[in-house]
Amino acid sequence: MKKLNVSGLIIFDHDGTLVNTNDHDYTLYSGMRELLQLLKLHGLHLSVWTARSNQSTTQSLARLDILDLFDDIYGHDDGAPKPNAMGLERLSAGYTKNQVLHIGDSRADIEGAQGFGIEVIAACWNNPNQVQNFMQKTSMVASSVDDCKEFIAKKFNLNFDTKK
């Protein structure tokens, strides 16, 4: 399939968003690998902004065989930690704020993205009890990876329909 050209950046959180770190063996959430591959196919750039160290994040993503899908990683040891937006600023250099979307599961993710002036999806597939709380903070609250995919499609005006 031909790679489409979309100018945009999606910045993911690691723990609780990309990766289920509650499991002894870290695992990707159901549908996450397919979503990441689909986003790359549509020409979106992908990065990670995390409270973990850069090295730990790199190792985790490599173990899960998705490291090559990401263009950049910003960990707590790369500068100021969340919710300080330094990581978002560095990762999004070269993009307008309208071209950037953050996806995270914590208050620090939401506050950091909103403080920086970019849209944010609250990822609640790790903790459904957060839905009501996050609905007061952002209009995009995803209970599943599929919900997240729909918000991304709307944000970047994408058609993920694979039916012919």
For strands 19-20 and 27-28, give the pairing. Answer: antiparallel
**CB-based contacts of 117: which residues, under 8 Å, 6+ apart?**
97
CATH pick for 9-156 out of 3.50.50.60, 3.20.20.240, 3.40.50.720, 3.40.50.1000: 3.40.50.1000
> For position 164, what pLDDT does the model report?
42
Per-residue pLDDT of the chain (164 residues; tens, 9 = 90+): 444 556 899 999 999 999 999 878 899 999 999 999 999 999 999 999 999 999 999 999 999 999 999 999 999 999 999 999 999 999 999 999 999 999 999 999 999 999 999 999 999 999 999 999 999 999 999 999 999 999 999 999 998 875 44
Q: What is the model's pLDDT at position 162?
A: 55
Whole-structure pTM value:
0.94
Mind listing the pLDDT tens digit for each residue in 92-117? 999 999 999 999 999 999 999 999 99
Strand, coil or helix: what is 45?
strand
For 32, residues 6+ apart whose C-beta sits below 8 A from its C-beta are 18, 145
Contacts of 47 (CB under 8 A, 6+ apart): 9, 10, 11, 12, 70, 71, 72, 73, 74, 91
Residue 154: Cβ-neighbour burial (10 angstroms; 0-12, 13-18, 19+) = exposed
